[in-house]
Amino acid sequence: MKIKFTRIASTLGLALALMQPAATAWAHGDHGHGDSHAAMAHGGHDAAAAAAAANLPVSSHVTADACWIRQLPKPTPSGGFLVLHNQGGEPAVIAAVASPDYADVMLHQTTEENGVSKMSMIHQLTIPAGQRVELKPGSYHLMLEGPRDGLTVGDEAHVRFALGDGTAVDAACKVMSAKATRKE
């Protein structure tokens, strides 16, 4: 399994996670021809972060559900949507996101200004204590680039979020067509 972990925030928890020994199965550095250049353009990739992703314990109070991905033909990035729930008593911070099924995953936000819609990269996303945050079209979303060969509509893709407290949240996402507007 190949995975690359995009570090989008430096938090103490993630920094500590990075100090864990590398797990070879998740180590990055070989993600197929063509990707590495594109990946560098985004910056912030870190082989140590990739290795750390495998070692993070699963969060006891943050969960993800209703995940789906609107799969667009390469090289157009695909949008990913889901709901994150924080049942804990403290805010939960999404510090990084990665997938074994995509070369690159980013957290984006779509905003509208004077009728013009634009996307920007989000460096961290906080889920308040006891609340949920929905990633949906026109709002927060995942931007997934470089799907693995053979990933097609109807498949399940996996996404892992790293939290600032050094734990992880996994989401199973249904891969849907370019025409999809919601999970079916």
Question: Closer to Cu ion at the Cβ: 43 or 154?
Answer: 43
119 is a site residue for Cu ion (CB under 5 A): yes
The reply to whether omega before 75 is within 30° of 0 (cis) is yes
CB nearer to Cu ion: pick between 54 and 143: 143
Shortest reach from residue 145's CB to Cu ion, in Å: 10
Count of residues that interact with Cu ion, criterion CB under 5 A: 3
Determine the length of the chain: 184
Q: Rounded to an integer, what distance in angstroms lies between the CA atom of residue 178 and that of residue 58?
A: 31
Tokens at 128, concatenated: 């308040």
Please give the residues from 140 up to 169 whose contact with Cu ion meets the rule CB under 5 A.
143
Q: Is residue 136 a contact point for Cu ion (CB under 5 A)? A: no
* Shortest Cβ 119–Cu ion spacing (Å): 4
Of 61, 108, 148, 183, the residue at the interface with Cu ion (CB under 5 A) is 108
Q: Give the residue among 63, 53, 156, 157 at the shortest CA–CA distance from 95.
A: 53
Nearer to Cu ion, 94 or 143 (CB): 143
Phi, psi (degrees; rounded to nearest 5) at 38: -60, -40
How many CA atoms are closer than 13 Å to the CA of 182, on its beta-carbon side? 3
Can you give the binding site for Cu ion, defined by CB under 5 A?
Answer: 108, 119, 143
